[in-house]
Amino acid sequence: MKVAVIGAGISGLYAGHILTELGYDVSLFEASNRIGGRIATQTIHERLFLEMGAAEIHGNRSVIFEMLKHLDQKLEPIAGNEYVWYDQKLTDIDEAERLPDTLQKLLDYFYSIEEEEYDGSILDSLKEKGIYHPNLKFIIRGMLSEYSAHVEKVHASTLGEEEWRWSSGDKNYFSWGKYSAAVTYFEQKLKDKIQLNTPIVDVNYEGDQVSILTQKGETLPFDKVIVSVSLGVLKEKKINFTPALPAEKQKAIEDIGFGKGRKLFIEFSEAFWEGDLVEIIGGKKCPSYLVRPSNPKHIVAYLMGEASKELDQLEDDELAEVLLNDLQEIFPHVEVMSMYVSHHGKDWTKDPFIKGTYSYSTKGTLEGRENLRHPISNKVFFIGEACRTNGHSATVHGAMETAEELANNYFPDLKSV
Ligand SMILES: Cc1cc2nc3c(=O)[nH]c(=O)nc-3n(C[C@H](O)[C@H](O)[C@H](O)COP(=O)(O)OP(=O)(O)OC[C@H]3O[C@@H](n4cnc5c(N)ncnc54)[C@H](O)[C@@H]3O)c2cc1C
């Protein structure tokens, strides 16, 4: 049985691997000149690599945690302290007695977000609970950075419900090795089955078979087709479906949120920040700066949602200058500029084959994810992070779980038949 997988990100690769093992004749079509999608390790030189996309392993009860361990990677919990930049001071988030009440209430709100039941946006919920204050704007942006979402667009009780469903463990891990090791593993297994630089522009499922059309004009018939492209690509209708997708699937694609964002790694000649610092929340230009032991002389600007929109016209060089000034304000006692070495960035919103960062919770998202993952006539299947319904969306392991779910539910083992 011939199966096409559109997209060779982690969900497409994992699906391709599982189905090949089960005895299917699999072909993968990848639009860009590389595989991995939103896993994008950039090697700067032999000892320096930067994770432009996924960098963390969220929890130790997940398929990616097991896989990287199996690949002999050294994984460690991200240990250290988060600081808030508020009232012109950098304060350790755990030193509650030094934080104003309003700010502490805001942090507590996000710490227990899985209990949130408000039917409206996070902004409206904060206002209704008397927690919102304009002075907290940059902290709120920072707290929402991990969701890559706008405070007015994230739906409070849906986010709460998705957080409540989360089950892969509360600790975040980083690897001393490359995240892309997982991608390389699948590449070796699937080498002769992957076609790079081959965007698929049409999926026709009118007849008994499904035919896909490449951008170069080649029509290829398959028994089943698996669509693993990002929600951003689906939202922008980069792939045409004939007949048009069922109404509930179109609605799902419109309803589920998909974030905007970019990352900029800024390298310094030495680390001038506190040794225990892992995150600064509340920068005026970038609401979330990250520091990781694997890149000890870098500060990573994690520019997501609203913050990224404000700066989206800037090229990386201009952005670096803005952020260096932002950091100078946060660290007034050091000459930040004189310690600057280089920067490397990636704007995911501008990536023509991703069109954003990852999915987030809006009002219709729970129903939307269910409808998105539902196959059409047992012929066209959808996988990828945005299809995950157990709270693991927007992650690598969530994307991989959709490939496992697909195989378990719809692709019997041909070898045992
Ligand atoms: C900045 C950033 C930081 C992140 N940080 C983390 C993190 O720390 N931890 C974590 O777990 N997750 C993180 N994520 C999320 C994680 O990277 C994704 O959830 C996951 O990689 C998505 O995999 P996927 O297979 O669903 O989609 P993708 O990786 O988007 O794969 C889809 C593939 O389809 C291809 N494609 C698109 N259009 C076509 C077409 N027409 N024809 C053929 N191919 C096409 C694309 O090029 C791509 O390779 C982060 C993401 C971003 C952007």
- Percent of the chain surpassing pLDDT 90: 96
Give, using CA atoms, the residue closest to atom 14 of ligand 1.
54
C-alpha 417 – ligand 1 centre gap (Å) = 34
Q: Examine the pLDDT at 208 and tell me if it is beyond 80.
A: yes
Residue 352 CA from chain centroid, whole number: 16
- Tell which residue, 75, 90, 130, has the closest CA to residue 108: 130
C-alpha 178 – ligand 1 centre gap (Å) = 16
- Tell which residue, 291, 285, 288, has the closest CA to residue 324: 285
Q: Examine the pLDDT at 105 and tell me if it is beyond 80.
A: yes
Give, using CA atoms, the residue closest to atom 26 of ligand 1.
384
Residue 122, phi then psi, degrees to nearest 5: -60, -40
For residue 218, give every residue at least 6 positions away whose Cβ sits within 8 Å of its Cβ, in sequence order, or none: none
Q: Is the pTM of this model over 0.75?
A: yes
Give, using CA atoms, the residue closest to atom 4 of ligand 1.
54
C-alpha 99 – ligand 1 centre gap (Å) = 37
Least confidently predicted of 79-88, 237-246, 261-270, 304-313: 304-313
C-alpha 66 – ligand 1 centre gap (Å) = 20
Least confidently predicted of 199-213, 242-256, 306-320, 341-355: 306-320
**Predicted pLDDT of residue 46:** 84
The pair of structure tokens assigned to 190 is: 């699937």
Residue 207 CA from chain centroid, whole number: 35
Q: Is 300 helix (H, G, I), strand (E, B) or coil?
A: strand
Domains of the chain and any CATH numbers: 2-39+178-257+361-416 (3.50.50.60), 79-170+260-357 (3.90.660.10)
Give, using CA atoms, the residue closest to atom 35 of ligand 1.
7
Give the alpha-carbon dihedral of 27, 248, 350, 264, to 10 degrees: -100
Burial class from Cβ neighbours inside 10 Å (0-12, 13-18, 19+) for residue 188 reads: exposed
DSSP tag of 155: B
- Tell which residue, 62, 111, 57, has the closest CA to residue 82: 111
Q: Among 75, 290, 396, 406, name the best residue to mutate to test ligand 1's pocket (greatest count of ligand atoms within 8 A of Cβ).
A: 396
Q: Examine the pLDDT at 97 and tell me if it is beyond 90.
A: no
Q: In sequence order, what are the beta bridge partners of 210?
A: 222
The pair of structure tokens assigned to 347 is: 């704007």
Give, using CA atoms, the residue closest to atom 42 of ligand 1.
199
Q: Examine the pLDDT at 306 and tell me if it is beyond 90.
A: no
**Amino acid letter for position 374:** H
Report the alpha-carbon distance of residue 364 to residue 350 in Å, rounded: 26
pLDDT in tens, 367-396: 999 999 999 999 999 999 999 999 999 999
Q: Among 147, 214, 229, name the best residue to mutate to test ligand 1's pocket (greatest count of ligand atoms within 8 A of Cβ).
A: 229
**Predicted pLDDT of residue 47:** 86
End-to-end CA distance of the chain: 13
Q: Examine the pLDDT at 414 and tell me if it is beyond 90.
A: yes
What is the residue-averaged pLDDT of the chain?
97
Q: Specify whether the CB–CB gap between 220 and 204 falls below 8 A.
A: no
pLDDT in tens, 244-295: 999 999 999 999 999 999 999 999 999 999 999 999 999 999 999 999 999 9
Q: Examine the pLDDT at 417 and tell me if it is beyond 80.
A: no
Atom from ligand 1 closest to the CA of residue 346 = 1
Give, using CA atoms, the residue closest to atom 21 of ligand 1.
38
Give, using CA atoms, the residue closest to atom 52 of ligand 1.
53
- Tell which residue, 166, 165, 159, has the closest CA to residue 143: 159
Strands 2-6 and 224-227: parallel
User: Cβ < 6 Å from ligand 1: which residues?
Assistant: 6-12, 29-32, 37-39, 53-56, 58, 199-200, 228-230, 233, 238-239, 261, 263, 348, 353-354, 357-358, 384-385, 394-396, 399
**Tokens 């049985």 label which residue?**
1
Report the alpha-carbon distance of residue 233 to residue 287 in Å, rounded: 27
For residue 34, give every residue at least 6 positions away whose Cβ sits within 8 Å of its Cβ, in sequence order, or none: 40, 196
Q: Specify whether the CB–CB gap between 371 and 336 falls below 8 A.
A: no
Atom from ligand 1 closest to the CA of residue 34 = 49
- Tell which residue, 107, 81, 80, has the closest CA to residue 96: 107
Q: Examine the pLDDT at 313 and tell me if it is beyond 80.
A: yes
C-alpha 385 – ligand 1 centre gap (Å) = 8
Q: Examine the pLDDT at 314 and tell me if it is beyond 80.
A: yes
The pair of structure tokens assigned to 316 is: 């990386």
Atom from ligand 1 closest to the CA of residue 201 = 41
Edge-to-edge, what's the strand order for the sheet holding 224-227? 194-195, 25-29, 2-6, 224-227, 380-382
Q: In sequence order, what are the beta bridge partners of 6?
A: 29, 227
Report the alpha-carbon distance of residue 366 to residue 376 in Å, rounded: 19
**Interhelix angle 181-190/63-70, nearest 10 degrees:** 80
Q: In sequence order, what are the beta bridge partners of 224?
A: 3
Q: Specify whether the CB–CB gap between 83 and 91 falls below 8 A.
A: yes
Report the alpha-carbon distance of residue 292 to residue 107 in Å, rounded: 22
Strands 75-77 and 172-175: antiparallel
**Amino acid letter for position 225:** V
**Predicted pLDDT of residue 416:** 82
pLDDT in tens, 235-246: 999 999 999 999
